[in-house]
C-alpha cells in the first residue's frame, strides 16, 4: 500500500495565526485539492495528521472541527479526491501528550491503523514539528514553502534528507514522477 501523510493548515489550506475556527475560514490553497485527487488516482492512501489545540483552548469544539473537515471532503469529492483518515491532536503543548507533533504518536497511530511500516512513507508539512514527528519513526520529510514553510526554512535545523517544494502540488508531481 502506498501511503502519504499530510499536515492540514499551511499545506492543504491557508493557515491563520488565529486558528481556523469555522468552515468559512477553511480555504484551500491553490492546487492542493487537485494534488490530493492525483495522489488518490495514483493509488495513494492519504492521511492527515494535524495539531488542533484550539479544541483544548475552547476556541472551537469537535463538532466544528468535523464541519471544517466536511467542507474539505465535499470540495475534494467534486474533484474525485478523498482523505482516507484524519488524525488530530486536540491538546495544547503544555498538556504533554504523546500525540502532539513534534512527538511521533499520531504518526505511529497512522502506521498501526493502516498496518504499514512508516519507514520511508512521505510526510508533508510546513513546520519543523511536522517533519520531526515523521523523522522520529523513519518517514521521508518533505517541506512545502506555503503556510509557515518559508519561516521554517529561514529558522534552519531541517532534518537530514528533507525535500523542499513550493507547494503540495509540486511535491506530489515530484513523488509521482519518481514512483509512477
List, by residue number, the catalytic residues.
Answer: 7, 9
**What are the b/e assignments for 61-77, b being 16+ CB within 10 Å?**
eeebbeebbebbeebbe
Other C-beta atoms closer than 10 Å to the C-beta of 24 total 10
Q: Specify the residue for cell string 493509488.
A: 43
**What are the b/e assignments for 117-151, b being 16+ CB within 10 Å?**
ebeebbbbbbbbbbbbbbbbbebbbbbbbbbbbee
Nearest CA among 128, 129, 127 for reference residue 146 = 127
In this structure, are residues 36 and 174 in contact, taking their beta carbons and an 8 Å threshold? no
Amino acid at each position: 500500500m502506498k501511503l502519504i501523510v499530510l499536515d492540514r493548515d499551511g499545506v492543504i489550506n491557508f493557515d491563520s495565526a488565529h486558528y481556523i475556527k469555522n468552515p468559512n475560514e477553511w480555504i484551500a490553497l491553490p492546487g492542493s485539492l487537485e494534488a490530493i485527487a492525483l495522489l488518490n488516482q495514483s493509488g495513494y492512501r492519504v492521511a492527515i495528521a494535524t495539531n488542533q489545540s484550539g479544541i483544548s483552548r475552547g476556541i472551537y469544539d469537535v463538532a466544528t472541527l468535523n464541519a471544517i473537515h466536511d467542507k474539505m471532503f465535499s470540495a475534494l469529492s467534486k474533484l474525485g479526491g478523498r482523505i482516507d483518515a484524519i488524525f488530530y491532536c486536540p491538546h495544547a503543548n503544555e498538556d504533554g501528550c504523546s500525540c502532539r507533533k513534534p512527538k511521533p504518536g499520531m504518526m505511529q497511530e497512522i502506521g498501526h491503523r493502516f498496518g504499514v511500516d512508516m519507514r520511508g512513507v512521505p510526510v508533508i508539512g510546513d513546520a519543523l514539528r511536522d517533519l520531526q514527528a515523521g523523522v522520529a519513526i523513519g518517514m521521508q520529510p518533505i517541506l512545502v514553502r506555503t503556510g509557515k514553510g518559508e519561516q521554517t526554512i529561514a529558522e534552519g535545523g531541517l532534518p537530514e534528507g528533507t525535500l523542499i517544494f513550493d507547494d503540495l502540488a509540486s511535491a506530489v508531481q515530484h513523488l509521482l514522477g519518481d514512483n509512477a
